[in-house]
Each structure stands twice: as C-alpha cells, then as structure tokens.
Amino acid sequence: MDGFSSLLAGRRGDVSLVRLVIVACALASIALLPSPVGAGPPAVKGLLKSDVPIEHLVQFNSRALFGSGKVTVVEGRVEILIARDGDLPSAFKGKGVMDSTHPTMKGANRRFIQYGDQKDGEKLLPGLAGIGYGRGVWVSRFPLAGETKVSFEIRVPNILTRESDLRVRINSKNRAALETSFFNSLSKVSNGIVRGTVLTSLEKYQGPASKWFPRKGEPIPVEFAVSGGRCSIRFGGEETVAIDGVDDGGGEVAFLFNKALFTLQNLRISGKLDLDWCEKELARLEKKGKLLEEPPVPEDGEPPPDAEAAEKRKKEAEEDL
C-alpha cells in the first residue's frame, strides 16, 4: 500500500525616513482593498489583465467558479457550502446530479425530501443539497490543491441490499483518488483500480451496509478529510477509520452510487485553492466580459435559482470545458 505508510535591517538618516513613508503608503493601499479575504498570492501565470488580487477575484466570482454563492476565501483556502436548489447542478457534473427541482422529484418520490408538517405549505429538508436516486456519478466542476475536507448530513430512507453501492472520493485526479465506501473503509485508487483498503475496527460498522447502516431518525453527519498527511473518516460523530502517511496532491470530489436512495444536506467542501485552475477560469470569464472585480449583490433573501436557471448554468459550463 504505497503512500499509506510513508509520508529587515533598516538604515539611519534620510534613507530610513523615505523607506518608512513608502511602507506606510503601501499599507494604506492594501487597507483599501474591497474584500476582507486577506492578502493572497499574485496571479500565477499572468493570464489576467485585472490588477485586483486573485483571491479577491475568486471571492467575487465564486458563483461562477464553484456553483454556490456561499463561498468563503481566506488565506489561500476556500470553503463552499451547497445547501439550496441550483447549487448541486452548478457545482457537479455527471450522471444523476439531482436536487428538488429535478423532474423525477414529483408525487410519491417527493415525500422523502419533505420534512415535518406540510399543512401550511411544503417544507423541504433544511439545507437540502442533493438527492441520490438509483445510479449516478457526480464529479465536482472544480479541483482543490490539497487539505480537502468534505462534510454533510446523509439520510438513507430505503432498504439497502448487498448490491447497493455508495462511495465518496477526494483528491480524484488522473484516475487516482482516496475513496470510502459507506464510510467504514478507506481505499487508495490508482489508475482506476483499488490498490489497498483499510477497514474500520469498530465492530458496529463492520460488514455490508445493509446490515448496520441506520435508516431511521435524523440525518447522520459525515466527514471525510485529509490534513497533515492523515486521511480520516467520521460517521455519526465517531472516527471509523484513519490512515497516516497519505500523499496529498489535491483533486476533485466525487460521489458514486448504485441501487441507492439518499439525501445530502449542508454539503461543505473546503481545502487549498488551486490557483492555476482559478486563474484560467477567471481569465475565461474576463475574456467573455463576465469577470466581477467588486463584490456582487448578496444572495441572502433572494429566491433560490429555479431548474431552468440551473440547467442554463450547467450547459454553459459544459460548453466551456
């Protein structure tokens, strides 16, 4: 299992005074920057004409880059919250990407995404990010550069069988990834093939998911993360499996499932910004005249995007691939 076991001195006089004045002016200019995201590295490849710092541009254009308006950028890191209709189809590509606006979510199929008393109008699960229905492969439209963390709450309302499959991948790149299956195992994928797997030592989570996975009650919190060369999985507040000495090259996030029905709430994805990718995407927006160089109007209070708008963003993103 390769990769699992390794891992100013100043001067006196007038010259000093001039330097102090220059430094003071520079600090005053930085203080006037329009966003509190902090000072970040310059553009990496010089693709952008804009002189706004790249981290500010990432924050201002977060909806276009990450598919969500709920994005925070601080000191080279990004956190994306996917928790409303339209976010998932904008943030992920692939088969079976579905939120509550999908045509499948009608009639009896809609009941399992509803929550509480429906007498005074429909109430959906709070923070509903997406629905897994039957078979699908979701791949994030954006990569991260490392230190990835994915967290969410999951519900599986139907009966799982031994044929049911639910996997989550992080650092997915060039047919390599770190992968968990039903959150009780951790595998290294290389060239599209699982090269090694570590299973949980917790007895209550051992065996096929059809035997132990909870299917009643409140959503279960899940966390899948890499930090400091350590990859870990938490399920229901407990660490189920962890491995040290993991190579952390970053990559995309993916969900793969078959013969499964589930909901995700409050999907959060965070990690180091992939500045090369960000600059290319920002340059593309700049070329199309769509680059925002100042903070956009806050989305709080605005109605969530409808299915038509989400589909339009999805098609635009696919055309630009």
List, for residues 138-193, the tens digit of each pLDDT value.
999 999 999 999 999 999 987 788 889 999 999 999 999 999 999 999 999 999 99
Choose the weakest-confidence range: 79-83, 192-196, 231-235. 192-196
Task: Tell whether the model's pLDDT for residue 62 goes beyond 60.
Answer: yes
State the burial class of residue 218 (Cβ atoms within 10 Å of its Cβ: 0-12, 13-18, 19+).
exposed
- Torsion region of 66: left, alpha or beta (phi above 0 gives left; psi -120 to 50 gives alpha): alpha
Confidence of residue 311 (pLDDT cuts 50, 70, 90): low
Choose the weakest-confidence range: 11-20, 169-178, 219-228. 11-20
Task: Tell whether the model's pLDDT for residue 118 goes beyond 90.
Answer: no
As separate numbers, helices (DSSP H) first and strands (DSSP E) second, the chain gives 7, 13
Q: Are 207 and 242 in contact (CB under 8 A)?
A: no
Q: What is the pLDDT of residue 309?
A: 45
Q: What is the pLDDT of residue 315?
A: 56
Cα 167-71-173 angle, rounded to 5 deg: 40
Cα–Cα distance, 299 to 67 (Å, whole number): 13
Choose the weakest-confidence range: 54-58, 161-165, 202-206, 314-318. 314-318
Q: What is the pLDDT of residue 305?
A: 41
Distances (CA, A) of 67 to 71, 173, 301: 9, 20, 18
Highest-scoring range by mean pLDDT, 13-17, 54-58, 152-156: 152-156
Q: What is the pLDDT of residue 312?
A: 54
Confidence of residue 82 (pLDDT cuts 50, 70, 90): very high
Q: What is the pLDDT of residue 69?
A: 77
Cα–Cα distance, 92 to 222 (Å, whole number): 19
Region 225-235: what's the mean pLDDT? 97
Task: Tell whether the model's pLDDT for residue 7 goes beyond 50.
Answer: no
Please report, in angstroms and rounded to a whole number, the separation of the first and last CA atoms in the chain: 34
Cα–Cα distance, 283 to 262 (Å, whole number): 37
Region 56-70: what's the mean pLDDT? 92
The pTM of the whole model exceeds 0.85? no
From 97, 212, 224, select the one nearest 148 (Cα to Cα): 224
Which one-letter amino acid corresponds to residue 13? Answer: G
Which DSSP letter does residue 206 get? Answer: -
Cα–Cα distance, 225 to 134 (Å, whole number): 26
Q: Are 129 and 264 in contact (CB under 8 A)?
A: yes
Query: Which run of H or of E encompasses 186?
Result: strand 185-190
> Which structure tokens are listed for 27?
């600090």
Q: What is the pLDDT of residue 111?
A: 87
* Percent with pLDDT over 70 in the chain: 79
From 37, 69, 23, select the one nearest 298 (Cα to Cα): 69
Q: Are 299 and 69 in contact (CB under 8 A)?
A: yes
pLDDT one-digit tens code per residue, 241-296: 999 999 999 999 999 999 999 999 999 999 999 999 999 999 999 999 999 999 98
Task: Tell whether the model's pLDDT for residue 14 goes beyond 90.
Answer: no
In this predicted model, which residue has the larger pLDDT, 252 or 104? Answer: 252
